[in-house]
């Protein structure tokens, strides 16, 4: 429950100019109180009422954590003078502050706000200095007004900082005119926040701004929540009407206006009217055009010696390729674009190594969507592999990919692994950076979950049949004894996994309840599995959950596992952010793309951009300044300030979706029931294939059987397949 502390600012201990995190000493009655949090810029002597909660800091003791505040304008002459002399206002020092108070008395602040030209009445203040003082005073007050204005509508301090940085002194006036502009302009502001502000400002529920914002947001939400690149027209109208709480007829008129103004794209697909956001529409068309163009460059690269090269590779590696695999290698030397897909143990990695041996020179580039996947690719091939973002060199003054149409990648071939994770925007950026004549090989498992971002790139390419592809189904001999591989294919084929074989690597542990399952998982992670793996490393064990909520959901399991695996300790400093405690050595995951976060590596490389799904460890905690340092799996080190903590979550337990592109020594997964839309064969298959040495399912046998039987894949609306077909048949 929120409490209030009111008093006079006695001392400003610390303030971050970037995040606005502040530590104040406040005199309240006879008591000096430490107040912390993101807040407007204050000066000593100001009277402020803070709302928030009392906290106990391990090092600094009792503090008041501020969530919002209200400022009382200085009223006494001494308070006004002290405020003006604080240094916040450029051009006003102690002497000038005294002169202003002497000249205007208790009206001094009113004069500076409403009649700043009167400052020229004071000796020594000319036109230029007067303008400087007035501008500084207005900027300082604008920042304060913005934060206090937004806090009154429940906007977090972190978002308030972003909004002020975007709009500066015009923030309040722009928001009052059209609060729905926040949705497009500020990352982290959704329709409901903007709508709450609008309603508080008295904006009509039937306003043009609101209805059009609701329609656009319904499409954006369909993309972010379900990966859709479009919605059928009728479905969009229904969802927008539900969101807005208005009849469908009221929404339909404004949809037409958005189409006519080209803010939305309308077309007909197979007799169904569909609506998309223009950038989604352009992205899928551009991908289709570039793929078809690249696939036309099909020249032989090996002078007819490919069969002998394959035979030499087989001999050196003591393997024998199947006819399908041989055909794939041959195709890689002849095709401008080749897609290779297959489940675990089907030899995708071996195939890639042979292709690199046969057709790959020194100028071949390897990439994957995540740091873990890139690292695994490097280990498997003996060549450097980068994340796609690093390959495309994100950053620069324009904060975008530096590798593009005008600055393409210099290589003869690009191999991209874990293609099931690549969404339409990353795919478009990749293809823009590939020169005509460069071969591209796309590798992935089409039976994995679709990407977190919008689109269904890998499946759409395969379904179209317009790009050469090879589907591997035969399991390599050396993999036949792995029950993980065998069970992955059984699950994918609709058969229940075989569990608990002696000397096996796939186990099931029964639990009577979700609570019992959670305790079993803790015991496995803390004691049994590290010893079983033979290295006593808890970091090699990853818990994956189908759900976010519930006793065995991501949130509760993370809190439980942190408490057991990394408990509080005097040598483990920590920070509290909302309901989450971040502690030294914690395993964490970055949960949203942040293209501006700076990183560095031990060898001196620097850059910007940390992305959704990156997993690392907390290596340093600065509790006083509220800073966290995280080192990610690819050795990038990132420092997070308070405003960026919202981009981090604990990663002792991950959702199955977040685990894509990663591989772990051991995977533990609760199977205790949940919504049928989450408990799918597709999801179980994805979880199982994340494990290298061991899988343990904990819970109910019936839930496993339900997941295997549930082959319903929630339809993802995407149009890349249709675009490719139109180009191929046109």
- Tens digits of residue pLDDT in 41-53: 787 777 888 888 8
Instruction: Choose the weakest-confidence range: 64-73, 197-206, 273-282, 370-379.
Output: 64-73
Q: Report which of 29, 37, 30 is spatially closest to residue 63, judged by C-alpha positions.
A: 37
Instruction: Count H helices and E strands in the chain, helices first.
Output: 26, 30
Q: Report which of 628, 631, 519, 541 is spatially closest to residue 580, judged by C-alpha positions.
A: 628
Q: Please report which confidence band the pLDDT of residue 415 belongs to, taking 50, 70 and 90 as the band edges.
A: very high
pLDDT at position 455 is 95
Flag whether pLDDT at 459 surpasses 70: yes
Residue 62, SS3 per DSSP: strand
CA separation for the pair 407, 396 (Å, rounded): 13
Instruction: Choose the weakest-confidence range: 165-174, 235-244, 314-323.
Output: 165-174
pLDDT at position 92 is 85
The mean pLDDT value of the chain amounts to 86
Phi-psi region of 52 (alpha: psi -120 to 50; beta: other; left: phi over 0): left
Q: Report which of 616, 622, 611 is spatially closest to residue 647, judged by C-alpha positions.
A: 611
CA separation for the pair 405, 407 (Å, rounded): 6
* pLDDT tens digits, one per residue of 536-595: 566 688 999 999 899 999 999 999 999 999 998 888 888 888 788 999 999 999 988 777
Burial class (CB in 10 A: 0-12, 13-18, 19+), 246: middle
Token pair of 616 as six digits: 């690392």
Q: Report which of 430, 427, 450 is spatially closest to residue 717, judged by C-alpha positions.
A: 450
Residue partners of 365: CB distance under 8 A and separation at least 6: 386, 391, 409, 411, 413, 414, 415
Instruction: Choose the weakest-confidence range: 79-83, 517-521, 671-675.
Output: 79-83
Instruction: Choose the weakest-confidence range: 84-93, 143-152, 682-691.
Output: 143-152
Flag whether pLDDT at 489 surpasses 80: yes
pLDDT at position 604 is 84
Which run of H or of E encompasses 725? helix 720-729
* pLDDT tens digits, one per residue of 461-477: 999 999 989 888 877 64
CA separation for the pair 28, 31 (Å, rounded): 5
CA separation for the pair 617, 594 (Å, rounded): 18
Strands (DSSP E) along 591-626, which ranges?
594-600, 606-610, 615-622
Stretch 515-524: mean pLDDT, rounded?
94
CA separation for the pair 443, 423 (Å, rounded): 14
CA separation for the pair 335, 348 (Å, rounded): 18
Flag whether pLDDT at 478 surpasses 60: no
Half-sphere exposure (CA, 13 Å, Cβ side) for 13?
15
Residue 122, SS3 per DSSP: coil
Of the chain, the percentage scoring pLDDT greater than 70 comes to 95
pLDDT at position 537 is 60
Highest mean pLDDT among 374-388, 425-439, 603-617, 654-668: 425-439
Half-sphere exposure (CA, 13 Å, Cβ side) for 270?
6
CA separation for the pair 468, 440 (Å, rounded): 11
pLDDT at position 398 is 54
Decide which of 406 and 40 is more confident: 406
Q: Please report which confidence band the pLDDT of residue 372 belongs to, taking 50, 70 and 90 as the band edges.
A: confident
Q: Please report which confidence band the pLDDT of residue 110 belongs to, taking 50, 70 and 90 as the band edges.
A: confident
693 close to 485: Cβ distance less than 8 angstroms: no
Q: Please report which confidence band the pLDDT of residue 159 belongs to, taking 50, 70 and 90 as the band edges.
A: confident
Residue 285, SS3 per DSSP: helix
* pLDDT tens digits, one per residue of 249-302: 889 889 988 999 999 999 999 899 999 999 999 999 999 999 999 988 755 454
CA separation for the pair 170, 185 (Å, rounded): 14
Stretch 142-152: mean pLDDT, rounded?
73
CA separation for the pair 244, 53 (Å, rounded): 34
């Amino acid at each position: 429950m929120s409490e209030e502390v009111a008093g006079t600012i006695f001392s400003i201990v610390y303030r971050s100019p970037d995040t606005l995190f502040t530590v104040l000493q406040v005199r309240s009655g006879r008591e000096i109180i430490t107040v912390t949090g993101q807040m407007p810029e204050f000066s000593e002597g100001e009277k402020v009422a803070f709302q928030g909660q009392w906290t106990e800091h391990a090092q600094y003791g009792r503090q008041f954590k501020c969530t919002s505040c209200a400022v009382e304008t200085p009223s006494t002459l001494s308070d006004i003078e002290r405020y003006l002399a604080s240094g916040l206002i450029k051009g006003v020092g102690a002497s000038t502050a005294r002169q202003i108070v002497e000249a205007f008395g208790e009206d001094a602040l009113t004069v500076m706000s409403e009649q700043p030209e009167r400052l020229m009445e004071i000796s020594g203040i000319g036109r230029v200095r007067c303008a400087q003082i007035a501008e500084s005073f207005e900027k300082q007050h604008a920042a304060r007004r913005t934060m206090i204005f937004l806090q009154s509508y429940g906007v977090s301090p972190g978002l308030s900082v972003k909004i002020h940085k975007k709009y500066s002194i015009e923030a309040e006036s722009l928001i009052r005119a059209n609060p729905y502009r926040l949705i497009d302009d500020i990352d982290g502001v959704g329709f409901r926040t903007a709508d709450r502000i609008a309603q508080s400002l008295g904006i009509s529920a039937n306003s043009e701004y609101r209805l059009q914002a609701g329609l656009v947001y319904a499409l954006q939400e369909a993309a972010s929540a379900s990966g859709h690149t479009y919605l059928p027209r009728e479905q969009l109208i229904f969802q927008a009407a539900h969101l807005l709480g208005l009849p469908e007829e009221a929404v339909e008129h404004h949809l037409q206006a958005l189409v006519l103004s080209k803010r939305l794209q309308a077309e007909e697909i197979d007799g169904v009217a569909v609506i998309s956001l223009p950038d989604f529409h352009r992205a899928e068309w551009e991908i289709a055009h570039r793929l078809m163009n690249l696939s036309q460059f099909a020249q032989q690269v090996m002078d007819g010696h490919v069969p002998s090269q394959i035979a030499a590779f087989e001999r050196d590696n003591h393997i024998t390729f199947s006819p399908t695999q041989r055909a794939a290698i041959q195709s890689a030397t002849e095709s401008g674009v080749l897609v290779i897909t297959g489940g675990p143990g089907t030899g995708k990695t071996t195939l890639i190594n042979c292709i690199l041996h046969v057709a790959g020179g020194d100028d071949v580039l390897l990439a994957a969507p995540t740091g873990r996947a890139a690292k695994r690719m490097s280990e498997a091939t003996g060549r450097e592999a980068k994340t796609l973002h690093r390959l495309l060199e994100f950053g620069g003054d324009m904060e975008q990919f530096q590798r593009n149409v005008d600055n393409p990648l210099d290589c003869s071939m690009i191999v991209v692994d874990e293609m099931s994770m690549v969404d339409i925007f990353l795919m478009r950026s990749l293809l823009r950076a590939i020169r005509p004549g460069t071969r591209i090989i796309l590798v992935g498992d089409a039976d994995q979950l679709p990407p977190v971002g919008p689109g269904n790139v890998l499946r759409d390419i395969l379904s179209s049949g317009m790009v050469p592809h090879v589907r591997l189904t035969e399991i390599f001999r050396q993999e036949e004894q792995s029950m993980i591989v065998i069970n992955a294919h059984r699950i994918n084929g609709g058969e229940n996994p075989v569990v608990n074989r002696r000397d096996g690597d796939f186990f099931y542990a029964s639990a009577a309840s979700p609570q019992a399952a959670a305790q079993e998982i803790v015991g496995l992670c803390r004691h049994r599995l590290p010893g079983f793996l033979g290295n006593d490393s808890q970091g090699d064990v990853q818990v994956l959950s189908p759900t976010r909520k519930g006793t065995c959901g991501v949130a509760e399991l993370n809190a439980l596992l942190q408490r057991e695996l990394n408990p509080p300790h005097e040598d483990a400093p920590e920070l509290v952010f909302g309901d989450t405690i971040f502690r030294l050595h914690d395993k964490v995951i970055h949960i949203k793309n942040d293209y501006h976060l700076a990183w560095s590596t031990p060898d001196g490389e620097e850059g910007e951009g940390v992305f959704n799904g990156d997993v690392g460890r907390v290596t340093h905690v600065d509790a006083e300044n509220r800073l966290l340092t995280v080192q990610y799996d690819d050795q990038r080190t990132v420092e997070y300030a308070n405003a960026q903590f919202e981009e981090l979550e604990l990663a002792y337990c991950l959702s199955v979706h977040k685990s894509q592109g990663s591989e772990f020594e051991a995977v533990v997964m609760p199977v205790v029931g949940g919504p049928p839309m989450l408990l799918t064969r597709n999801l179980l298959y994805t979880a199982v294939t994340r494990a290298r040495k061991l899988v343990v399912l904990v819970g109910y046998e019936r839930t496993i059987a339900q997941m295997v039987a549930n082959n319903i894949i929630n339809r993802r609306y995407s149009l890349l397949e249709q675009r490719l077909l139109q180009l191929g048949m046109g």
